[in-house]
Amino acid sequence: MLLALMQAQARPLDVAANLAAIDHAARDAAAAGAQLLLTPELFPLGYAPLRIHADFDMARLPDIRAVLAETARRHGIGLVYSLPGDRDGTRPGISATLLDAAGTELLTYGKVHLFGGDERTAFSPASRPPGVVQFMGLNISMVICYDVEFPETVRAAAVRGADAVLVPTALAHGFDEVPNIILRARALENHVAVAYANHCGIEDGTTFGGGSIIAGPDGGVLASAGIGAELLYAELDADAIRGSRAGVPYLAERRPELYREWENG
């Protein structure tokens, strides 16, 4: 499967402009032969947690989801997008959704680890583990941004059979160790491909570092971006990913009963 990854600058709360940017990326990715496009965290609204919390009408979400489904259908490409969702109490969480090329929803995920005071004010954390669904011969899972910095989240996807973990993110400038070290380690220690789609430029006062990356199951870099807007591409092969587990079978040789005992003191 050819995966496309969108790195771009969103306009906070300019939904029409952001949806148009996703549409253009989907068009270009489909023309290049990609079967799936991954977009950054909260891109349709822009990354502006407090403004979303104060000014965005959540009743608009069904219409936004309908536009994104139509984008997938019109260009014949699968799509991963991120929006507020999964209400918990009075605040929504942050969600990611996988659509197939017909615009049908295949998988959703709610962000478990919120980052910083703005996110914790605007959103509620989810608690369900990442799910896995088959798409174009690959077992696909998703986590969101800060989630990937915790070993447990990607491991949870891997033990459920994931071949690839897709990560919409909004990583600020100055945290280069996340894509360059942590994400590649997650790929290697779980023998999965990991794709990490970031914003670039400045949104609502936050400077984003770009640096989106697609890592293979050996931790190697399949594609990486600079600091500007870019579409990345990488071929993900299910047989190659699954075959990578034979040499050093981390997943097969885990001893979770011991780990539980260790954590309990």
Q: Which tens digit of pLDDT belongs to each residue from 173-202?
A: 999 999 999 999 999 999 999 999 999 999
pLDDT band for position 87 (cuts 50, 70, 90): very low
235 is catalytic: no
177 is catalytic: no
Q: For 200, which DSSP code? A: E
Q: What domains, with CATH codes, occur in the chain? A: 2-263 (3.60.110.10)
Of 119, 145, 149, 203, the catalytic one is 145
pLDDT at 19 over 60: yes
Torsion, Cα 150 161 199 11, to 10 degrees, reads -110
CA 51, 127, 177, 107 dihedral sign is negative
Mean pLDDT of 125-132: 96
Helix 151-159 / helix 183-190 crossing angle, nearest 10 deg: 30
145 is catalytic: yes
pLDDT at 67 over 50: yes
Specify the pLDDT at position 85.
84
CA dist 29 and 4 (Å) reads 6
Of 70, 105, 111, 149, the catalytic one is 111
Specify the pLDDT at position 90.
57
Of 41, 119, 149, 203, the catalytic one is 41
pLDDT at 222 over 50: yes
CA dist 151 and 165 (Å) reads 13
pLDDT > 70: percent of the chain: 98
Q: Which tens digit of pLDDT belongs to each residue from 24-59?
A: 999 999 999 999 999 999 999 999 999 999 999 999
Q: Can you point out the beta strands (E) in the chain?
A: 2-7, 36-38, 78-88, 91-99, 105-110, 133-135, 138-142, 164-168, 193-197, 200-203, 206-209, 213-215, 221-224, 230-235
CA dist 112 and 93 (Å) reads 9
CA 262, 116, 123, 152 dihedral sign is negative
